[in-house]
Amino acid sequence: MSATTGTISYSTSITASVSATATCTNPKPGKNGYLPPDACDVILLYVPSFGAAILFSVLFGLTLICHVVQGIIYKKKYTWVVMMGALWELLAFILRALLTRNQSSTGYDTGHVIMFLLAPIWINAFLYMTLGRLIHFFIPDQRLGGISAKRYGTVFVLLDIIAFIIQLAGASITTETNVSSATIMQGVHIYMGGIGLQEFFILIFTGLIILLHRRMLSMEHSGELDPEKVNRGSIPWRWMIYAIYTTLGMITIRIIFRLCQYARGTDASNPVVTHEFYEYVFDALPMFVALVILNYFHPGRILQGPDSEFSKVSRQEKKRIKNEKKEAKKAERARKKDSNVFESLSAQEEGNASEEI
């Protein structure tokens, strides 16, 4: 690793004060590739815990297995999205465990950072898709705030992808080698902009969840909420709403932590960078709690039955609808053409009649 490189994980150092000068040292790596903070090629500013990495690998592995099983049991194909979030967290900590045994490996470090920083976006997307299905299932006109249920998932997932791309761009820059500290900090700022944008979308989404919550409470009090659909699930519909609120809270805690972490800088003077504890408590733990909440309050426990999913149009049906639209356009053009001809003939006849008079 170059003396001027690093990553934006707090577990990884962008030691500008060391790398930008010629005062760094080149000691022989110690146990598991350990290098002291003043080494030119240092990645970590502390000795990472192998036990903690293994523990969270096991925890995320267990919640991943639960999500896979639940997706099969409840027949919810879209749960592959939350599975990806759990999988990326699992892979991040497997790479983290490997990094503890080879602390000078930029490959393990880069893989860990990218997986760890971007995994929560999958969980976000899963919540967005769940909102659309709740509207589709419980709201009679399948609309909320003038927007159709299908569009909610599509719009917010697209916004999530935008935030994902920005964060990925920032994370990728910070893992490059042979670049200046200024470039590394530029990558940090891009990543911070990406998670800030993600939180902005979360706030908008929270407002829509509150709107849905109020709408369903009103429908329940007025008797408009279909009791048959409500009673299909094994848990009350309110619990799913509360689970979404809590999960959004966990993601927000993690985002605030990251913003505070990088706002202070990324050199050895920042205690968040030099203590492994913070990352586990304010990032790994909230994401694990979020995944477990979605295990217990799984959407499949509430959204049950064929009408709980968006109906899929077959290829033949799409072709039929497309042909019908074409025929309708042709008929409309023919009608307009006949109308123009009729108007032209009528005008001509009126003109002839005027000349005769």
Quick one: pLDDT at residue 3?
34
| Residue from 289, 201, 293 nearest 242 by CA | 293
Which amino acid is residue 31, in one-letter code?
A: K
Quick one: pLDDT at residue 309?
87
Quick one: pLDDT at residue 205?
93
What is the full DSSP assignment across 11-63? TS---HHHHTSS--B-PPP-GGG---TTBTT---SS---HHHHHHHHHHHHHH
The answer for residues whose C-beta is within 8 angstroms of residue 301's C-beta and 6 or more apart is 74, 233, 234, 235, 240
CA distance 202 to 128: 9
Q: What are the average pLDDT values for consecutive 10-residue runs of the chain, which has 357 residues? A: 39 40 71 76 82 97 97 94 97 95 87 90 93 93 87 85 87 70 81 89 94 95 91 92 97 91 69 83 96 96 88 62 71 71 65 60
Quick one: pLDDT at residue 327?
75
The C-alpha angle 171, 259, 262, rounded to 5 degrees, equals 65
Neighbours of 282 (CB within 10 A): 18
Neighbours of 210 (CB within 10 A): 12
Question: Structure pTM?
Answer: 0.78
